[in-house]
Amino acid sequence: MEISSRKLLRLAAQTAAIMLAWIAPPGASGQDEHPPFAIRERVAGRHGGEKLVLELHGPSWDTVFAPPGKDELGDPRWFRQLLGEDVGRFLGFETLGPRLETIPDARELDGGIAAINRRLTWLGHESILLRFAAHDSNDLARYVTGFPRLPYEDSGLFVVHDAAFHAPSILMPNTWIEHAQRQNSVIAEWNHVISANRPTFEKMAWNSRSAGLDVGTANLKEFLDSPSRLQEMGEALTLEGRSPRAALEITVERILRDEDADPVLRRESNLALKAVHDRHRSDPYYEQNLTLDGATAQEHVFTKRERIRQAVSAIEAYRCLPHKGLGRLFR
């Protein structure tokens, strides 16, 4: 249990350090006092949402500026650098000039992903399971129970952070995301039972789980070239690949330890655990661990990226076909 906690904290620290090292110029320290860019306007996108036009005011798009109480914004160009210009443009990431960049809002990004998924599914390829929804990342209950829809800032400059650090994680293996979903589901079940008599416990499970989801879906661009670092992302996301049952038990034990639980509380928790265990007695995934291998995941991500690029190319090539049936298929 302690090993997992330390690993999560270490990966969080590494992620934060790399965020700073990647976006800060040599010799820089601390944070920029002001963001180097601002939202100039919002324009209509092609997938039902909007694109935010960012205008550069400082010397560079690189920044270590962080809004109060938030993480660093990051660079709005990172998504295109990882997935390519064509995929970036299709999803709303585009360079309009040396001082103008666009990024999508949540609805535009998610609509574009849905279009890509239609093509991927038609070809029999793995779809993009990670999606995005406009809501506050501080709503931890929705963060955990709504996964794999990640929170995506709807207004304000912090949208750049979500676009830069989290949007590239659409490349993550679906097996990782599905496993994390199963873990979240059983943790939510236990939380529902225990919080019926202990309302103050409502946020405990969310606090414990949301950190892993955040770290496990951030900074894929930087970690992608290192199988070991990519594997650590998977470990943060899936509690080191533990089965849903083990993930639930370790999460509950952390909460009880942090709360210095008395015998009565532990007895209530054990009853809630038993109720969840009984409900999933015939679930083949409930006690199944996930094998995490960074090299295999890296190969998987590279393949997924190439298939997404091919899907976008096909959509762009066929979306203007006169045949209405084909037009709907590739739109």
pLDDT digits (tens, 9 = 90+) for 43-79: 999 999 999 999 999 888 877 777 777 788 889 999 9
pLDDT of residue 328: 53
DSSP reduced 3-state for 147: coil
pLDDT of residue 18: 41
E strand or H helix at 40: strand 37-44
Mean pLDDT of the chain: 86
Residue 32 confidence class, pLDDT cut points 50, 70, 90? low
| Of residues 301, 190, 196, the one with CA closest to residue 255 | 190
Dump pLDDT digits (tens) for 125-178: 999 999 999 977 678 888 899 999 999 998 788 899 999 999 999 999 999 999
Examine the pLDDT at 181 and tell me if it is beyond 80: yes
Whole-angstrom distance, CA of residue 119 vs CA of residue 128: 11
Among 23-27, 146-150, 316-320, the least confident range: 23-27
CB of 231 closer than 8 Å to CB of 224: no
| Domain edges within the chain | 2-28+105-330
% of the chain with per-residue pLDDT over 70: 86
Mean local confidence (pLDDT), 205-228: 89
Whole-angstrom distance, CA of residue 135 vs CA of residue 145: 13
pLDDT of residue 325: 54
Total number of residues shown for the chain = 331
pLDDT of residue 1: 41
CB of 85 closer than 8 Å to CB of 27: no
Residue 261 confidence class, pLDDT cut points 50, 70, 90? confident
Q: Residue 211, exposed/middle/buried by CB under 10 A (0-12, 13-18, 19+)?
A: middle
Helices (H), the chain: 2-23, 78-83, 85-91, 106-122, 140-145, 159-161, 174-197, 204-216, 220-223, 227-238, 244-258, 263-279, 294-318, 324-330
Task: At 133, list the tokens.
Answer: 């929804």
| DSSP of 243-276 | -HHHHHHHHHHHHHHHTT--HHHHHHHHHHHHHH
Examine the pLDDT at 21 and tell me if it is beyond 70: no
Enumerate residues 6+ apart whose C-beta is below 8 A from 268: 194, 197, 198
Total-model pTM: 0.86
Mean local confidence (pLDDT), 178-183: 98
Q: Residue 199, exposed/middle/buried by CB under 10 A (0-12, 13-18, 19+)?
A: exposed
Q: For 135, left (φ over 0), alpha (ψ -120 to 50), or beta?
A: beta
pLDDT of residue 294: 96
Examine the pLDDT at 121 and tell me if it is beyond 70: yes
